[in-house]
Amino acid sequence: MSGVQDVEAKPGANAIFMVWGIDDYPKAKEVVSKITGELEALVRSRLNRFPGSETGAVMGFGAQAWAQLFPNRSVPPELEVFKEIKGEKHVAPSTPGDLFFHIRSSRMDICQELAAVISLDLSEVAHSLDETQGFRFFDSRALIGFVDGTENPESLNATQFARIAGDKLFAKSEEFLFGSYALVQKYLHDMKAWEKLPVEEQEKVIGRHKFDDRELTDDLKPENAHNAVTNISDENGEELKIVRANMPFANPSKGEFGTYFIGYSGKFSTTKRMLENMFIGDPPGNTDRLLEFSTPITGTLFFVPSATLLSQLAEED
């Protein structure tokens, strides 16, 4: 793997997530072409300088940016402006975003250097909508104390679920094959309320044991447990999955503790169904109890081209 557009990679020890809004699309075209053309080399340089650093970068495009920057190309079939999902009690908001970068490494200084190089170019034609720095918390746990990403598919299965497969009827065009849809949400946790819950009650909210990460048995797991409402299947009963690259983030002096959620999927409809189950419920009203303690403040959908397509985009007229 080149380290670019590697959506199946483990979350890693450190990450920087950047969402940008483009100010001037005609002027931005040249800058974006430069970044898409150089990103693989930028990552490879750091892998050569720091072997074993597990450095990688993912670049994604929002629906409006794709249409404006690449008007001669068709649109990925499920790329759209993310629509707010509103239930009776909870809301998954929709927030703007044209470009998305997910930079990860075993070293934060490498993440910082790579983010700075990209930002120096982009700052001429775009403005930062959000930058979040993620970190590994103990043994890959969220700040609420439970292991995150337990349900992720492994190895070849991860590719099957994370990337657009070779189904041309669905993909509409071969150019989008092996790309991915990335839904990003920034969740803030009410740690004071969460920590008042006894551990056994926390386990019922998540659907797993806190210490050893074992799944609760069916007789102990409530229907509104987090891992119950996000467990979905297709019409044939086959379980549908996404690849999560979630990372904790925090600003303790401001009382901010959260999780940066990323769902990489070959079909955004899979991620969307999970969110609808969480925020609306199936049946309606059976909402994810974790939302009583975790509130999303962003929500944006991006298309992540394959590494091959990303390099081709640099040559667009």
The predicted-structure confidence for 111-164, as pLDDT tens digits, reads as follows 999 999 999 999 999 999 999 999 999 999 999 999 998 888 876 678 889 999
Domain ranges of the chain: 14-313
| Catalytic sites, residue numbers | 148
Residues 274-281: what's their mean pLDDT? Answer: 98
Residues 246-262: what's their mean pLDDT? Answer: 97
- The confidence band for 238, taking pLDDT boundaries of 50, 70 and 90, is confident
The model's pTM = 0.95
| Tens digits of residue pLDDT in 26-48 | 999 999 999 999 999 999 999 99
Residues 269-278: what's their mean pLDDT? Answer: 97
Q: Map 227-292 to HEC letters.
A: HHHCCEECCCCCEECCEECCEEEEEHHHCEEEEEEEEEECCHHHHHHHHHHHHCCCCCCCCCHHHH
Q: Return the pLDDT at 168.
A: 47
Task: Spell out the residues 6+ positions from residue 156 whose beta carbon is closer than 8 angstroms to its own.
Answer: none
**Cβ atoms of 163 and 157 closer than 8 Å:** no
Half-sphere exposure of 222 (CA within 13 A, CB side): 15
- Alpha-carbon gap, residue 121 to 133, rounded angstroms: 20
